[in-house]
A and B are shown apart, each in its own frame.
Chain A
Amino acid sequence: MSPSENATVLVVDDDRQMLRAVTTALKARGYSILTAADGEIALRMLAEEQPDLVLLDLGLPHVDGHQVITRLRTWSDVPVIVLSVRDGQDEKAAALDAGADDYVTKPFGAKELLARMRAVLRRAAPEQSEPVLHFDELEIDLSRRLVKLEDEPVHLTPTEYRLLEAMATSPGKLLTHGWLLQKVWGPGYATESHYLRLFVRQLRQKLHDDPARPRWITTEPGVGYRWLPEPS
């Protein structure tokens, strides 16, 4: 079904227990695993093996994670998920700027990691865009621009609809404020994050989403939002 199940994943981490835990969890899901314990090896394996996805720890010996991303991006578009510790906020932002696709904060749960992996793999291999998206009892008809929640039509303004479409077509992916603003409002609005906040709030209300127990939209404070569910 999705391309994830037989994808090859390069896991780069200098901690052997971490490698072991991630490898075990991913193999159980049918992924093929490559591992590298430092940045130099990682870059070589990337060139030789051409994996479908990279899980990259930032704190590597010799060549650190940032350098790996920077060098990698000169010749490859392979999706990269950064594994970062909590207090490396600047590091995280720098990694995203350098070209990482998403980040997972250590310690993380396997479920969260797998969801992020599926999200970036889906984007890397765009599927034939479905005309109608289903997320449990939420239905979004992209061709007719109709939204239904529990079979009841949800009335959205055009902006709210564009926001919902931008989010729901990138499920699980980290959507930064800047990206969403550009996508929904167009260039020139990239810094007007209070607009975004307002419309996200309205959208949550109309979709009966409790932000404290979110079903559809989660907040990544200071960074952006994520469309939580995967299409059913």
Chain B
Amino acid sequence: MALERSLRLSSVGAFRRPRVWITVLGGPAAVTALTLLEHQLSTTTAALLYVLVVVVAAGVGGPAAGIAASFLSFLALNFFFTPPLHTFVAGKVDDLIALVVFLIVSVITGLLLSTALRERSRAETRERQTRLMNRSTTQLLSGQALEEVLQGLADGLVGLLDLASCTIATETSGPVRAKTERKPASSFEVPLIVKGERAGTLSAAPAAANGPLRRDERALIEALAAQVSLALESTRLTDEVRRAQLDAETNRLRAALFSGVTHDLKTPLSAITASVTSLLEGSRFTEHQRFEHLDTIRQEAEHLDRVVTNLMDLARLRAGALVPARVPAAIDELIEAVVARLQPMLVGRDANLDLHDDLPEMSMDVIQIDQVLTNLIENAVKFSPPGTPIRISATGGAEQVRVTVSDKGPGIPHGDRERIFNAFERGNGEVTGTGLGLAIAWAAVHAHGGRMWAQDAPGGGAAVTFELPTSTSDAS
């Protein structure tokens, strides 16, 4: 890395680094000292050692360092080893030729070596750049979370170009930053452009010690920025497609809800209208027939009330305001009160209550949990044969209470157990207000920080259970 760094620096830039100075000045000095002190060494050996020093200098400091070392060696050779000694004059033609040849050979050797090393290092850098480009392209298009990809890109860029820091800020994700401990120089900023608008910025700060970014490095950064822009554009397109799909889904649900609700409202209304008109029409009814008509009207009116209540809850749910209005209450008393109120619906059935003695008093929205229980019981009644028992059990501990409503109906198929709590869906895939009831129950329980699920009742039938925490923490 160090070798590569120094090679890729501009020739003059190389002299900013102390190591280059040491090599360029120290190398020839060391050879000179060694040869002067050790009398056994010949001038030929000294010349060869100087060449070695030039090669090392060229390797460490690049061509300029090589040339500088060559000239220093040439001067040292001339000054210390060719007669007349201690002058920069060559007395003999022979020595003069030798000195000039030495200079030419050492300069060429240094240049060749440094060029070869630089080429190799450039090839490596190019390969790493290509790899970074490829990887980021793949990641950007793979649908991986944008922020992760950008983080990887910033890290890669900092590593590759030895930057002090790199920041990528986009309109869709927060700014991601890769940083080193190095002191940054002023940063190079590239705008990210999506469809002619600025959608963010990629800024790269080179380390102060490395000098400003080279043109090829800037080109690489610009290329990467262009890729990020493309990726942003494709993300934006994906979002638009997704939103369109969501809209379509919402519309489908709305249409389904509308037809389901219309059905749910129309059915009891039809029954009421039929009973009322026949009563008004004035036929002579027996007392029993009259009662039958009136009782139908009452029951259907109650049914209408429940549907409308659910719709109101749904509206509040949509408005995002199902915040429980909590008061201290006991779940067992609430269950008993709801069952007492729903007696008309439970005619001819056994409502088995199994409520533990040690159920704690807790803080809850009585109306919401009342609605949860009402909807679960109504659901159980609706999906089990008349005359079969409904069982409601409640157990509790210090942390939570758990209530289960189970019936002796056909149960809920495995695949539907989550779906039934999705708004507007019923077990058989048809949309009615009953599905609405379960969805609202689910939402109310979640608003209390609890959970709700469906399973098989022991001995057959469906069992829907919900759990409420006794401590008050609303779902956020």
Contacts and interface: CB of A to CB of B under 8 A. Distances in A.
Interface stretch (A113-121, A149-157, A211-219): A211-219
Nearest to B373: A221
Given A86-B367, A87-B367, A218 B340 contact: yes
A50 interface: no
Contact of A90 (B325, B337, B361): B325
Interface string B304-317: 01000100110010
A219 B337 contact: yes
The 4 closest A-B pairs by CB, nearest first: A222-B366, A211-B336, A212-B339, A219-B337
A222 B327 contact: yes
Contact of A219 (B305, B312, B313, B333): B333
Nearest to A93: B327
B343 interface: yes
Contacts of B309: 86-87
A222 B353 CA distance: 20
Interface of B: 298, 301, 305, 309, 312-313, 316, 325, 327-330, 333-334, 336-337, 339-340, 343, 351, 353, 361, 365-367, 370
A89 B367 contact: yes
Interface string A103-121: 0000101000000000000
Given A86-B309, A197-B361, A222-B366, A213 B343 contact: yes
Contacts of A223: 366
Contact of B333 (A89, A90, A109, A211): A211
A221 B340 contact: no
Contacts of A193: 328, 361
Residue with the highest number of chain B CB atoms closer than 10 Å, among A90, A107, A197, A221? A221
Interface residues of A, number: 19
Contacts of B361: 193-194, 197
Contact of B337 (A107, A197, A221): A221
Contacts of A89: 325, 365-367
Contacts of B298: 109
Contacts of B334: 219, 221-222
A141 interface: no
Given A193-B361, A211-B333, A211-B336, A221 B353 contact: no
Nearest to B330: A197
Given A212-B336, A221-B366, 19 more contacts: A86-B367, A87-B312, A89-B365, A89-B366, A90-B325, A194-B361, A211-B336, A212-B343, A213-B340, A214-B340, A219-B333, A219-B336, A221-B329, A221-B333, A221-B370, A222-B327, A222-B328, A222-B334, A223-B366
